[in-house]
């Protein structure tokens, strides 16, 4: 197990079905059978609409010839990835990594997802020396990811040389406007696109600054090994630094 028990406030175990992504308010609900919970809520909603429901929800394979009464199509992988980047949703990040592994015919375990993402990073020619992924959402304390790699990823996306990264910059949260930056960096609104990283002892910000001089600055800042209780202060200093980049670069 790569996650601390407290981390389950911010992520759920992989499941094919969950209501509101397994969240209640701002936190994830742990120790829950998400598929059974979803089926129970669906049955309750049917009953509330006057539709008779017999028995209790149970896991089973649909019998051959069963009538299809409704279906929902998922958003595209690109749309899901964009939402994940804006909201920094750990569970969706883990699920997407497993889809990378499935596409490479390497299974669907957490380890397979981490290995597949690592292989794709290397295939893009990005600097991966020292890279180690214990998970693919960033919660695991064993993860080792350099600021050089993060900045190089933004640089490659900005260059336009890699079609698969053409949407990356649009997915990044925008300062004081949306996503995880909606309430941050008020003195440079709309001037910074960046992916946030927030743990108890690590704070990071990686992205691009549209400086008022007209120049663009790619940056990656990782503050690691923080003392307990100092993460917020570190985040404020990072925000001040990128604000200064917007003002003076």
Provide the residue range defining the domain that includes 194: 163-249
Phi-psi region of 126 (alpha: psi -120 to 50; beta: other; left: phi over 0): beta
Query: What average pLDDT score do residues 181-186 get?
Result: 98
State phi, psi for 209 to the nearest 5 degrees: -105, 130
60 assigned to some structural domain: no
Q: Please check whether residues 24 and 102 belong to one and the same domain.
A: no
Q: Which residue has the tokens 């979803």?
A: 38
- Tally of domains in the chain: 3
Query: What average pLDDT score do residues 175-182 get?
Result: 98
Q: Is residue 3 very low, low, confident or very high in pLDDT (cuts 50, 70, 90)?
A: confident
Q: Please check whether residues 238 and 176 belong to one and the same domain.
A: yes
Q: Is residue 1 very low, low, confident or very high in pLDDT (cuts 50, 70, 90)?
A: low
Does 140 score more than 90 pLDDT? yes
Query: What average pLDDT score do residues 104-125 get?
Result: 97
153 assigned to some structural domain: no
Q: Is residue 224 very low, low, confident or very high in pLDDT (cuts 50, 70, 90)?
A: very high
Residue-by-residue DSSP string for 95-144: HHHHHHHHHTTS-SSHHHHHHHHHHHHHHTT---TT-B-S-SSS--TT-B
Q: Please check whether residues 197 and 244 belong to one and the same domain.
A: yes
Q: Please check whether residues 184 and 239 belong to one and the same domain.
A: yes
Q: Is residue 20 very low, low, confident or very high in pLDDT (cuts 50, 70, 90)?
A: confident
71-81 confidence digits (pLDDT tens): 989 999 999 99
Does 247 score more than 80 pLDDT? yes
Q: Please check whether residues 35 and 88 belong to one and the same domain.
A: no
Q: Please check whether residues 125 and 193 belong to one and the same domain.
A: no
89 assigned to some structural domain: yes
Whether residue 100 contacts residue 112, with contact meaning beta carbons closer than 8 Å, is answered with no
151 assigned to some structural domain: no
What is the distance between the alpha carbons of residues 12 and 38, in angstroms, rounded to a whole number? Answer: 14
Does 21 score more than 90 pLDDT? no
Q: Please tell me the pTM assigned to this model.
A: 0.91
Q: Please check whether residues 206 and 234 belong to one and the same domain.
A: yes
Query: What average pLDDT score do residues 22-33 get?
Result: 75
Does 222 score more than 80 pLDDT? yes
**pLDDT value at residue 69:** 87
Query: What average pLDDT score do residues 52-64 get?
Result: 91
């Amino acid at each position: 197990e790569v996650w601390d028990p407290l981390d389950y406030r911010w992520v759920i175990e992989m499941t094919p079905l969950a209501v509101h992504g397994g969240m209640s308010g701002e936190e994830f609900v742990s120790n829950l059978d998400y598929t059974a919970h979803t089926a129970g809520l669906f049955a309750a909603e049917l009953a509330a609409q006057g539709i008779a429901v017999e028995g209790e929800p149970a896991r089973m394979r649909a019998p051959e010839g069963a009538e299809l009464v409704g279906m929902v199509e998922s958003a595209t992988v690109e749309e899901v990835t964009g939402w994940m980047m804006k909201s920094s949703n750990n569970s969706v990040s883990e699920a997407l990594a497993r889809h990378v592994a499935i596409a490479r015919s390497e299974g669907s375990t957490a380890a397979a997802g981490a290995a597949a993402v690592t292989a794709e990073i290397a295939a893009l020619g990005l600097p991966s020396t020292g890279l180690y992924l214990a998970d693919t959402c960033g919660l695991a304390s064993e993860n080792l990811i350099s600021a050089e790699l993060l900045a190089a990823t933004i640089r490659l996306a900005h260059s336009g040389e890699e079609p698969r990264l053409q949407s990356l910059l649009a997915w990044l949260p925008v300062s004081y406007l949306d996503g995880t930056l909606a309430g941050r960096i008020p003195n440079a609104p709309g001037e910074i696109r960046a992916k946030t990283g927030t743990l108890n002892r690590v704070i990071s910000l990686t992205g691009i600054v549209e400086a008022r001089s007209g120049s663009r600055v790619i940056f990656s800042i990782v503050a690691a090994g923080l003392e307990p209780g100092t993460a917020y202060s570190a985040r404020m200093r990072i925000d001040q630094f990128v604000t200064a980049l917007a003002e003076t670069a």
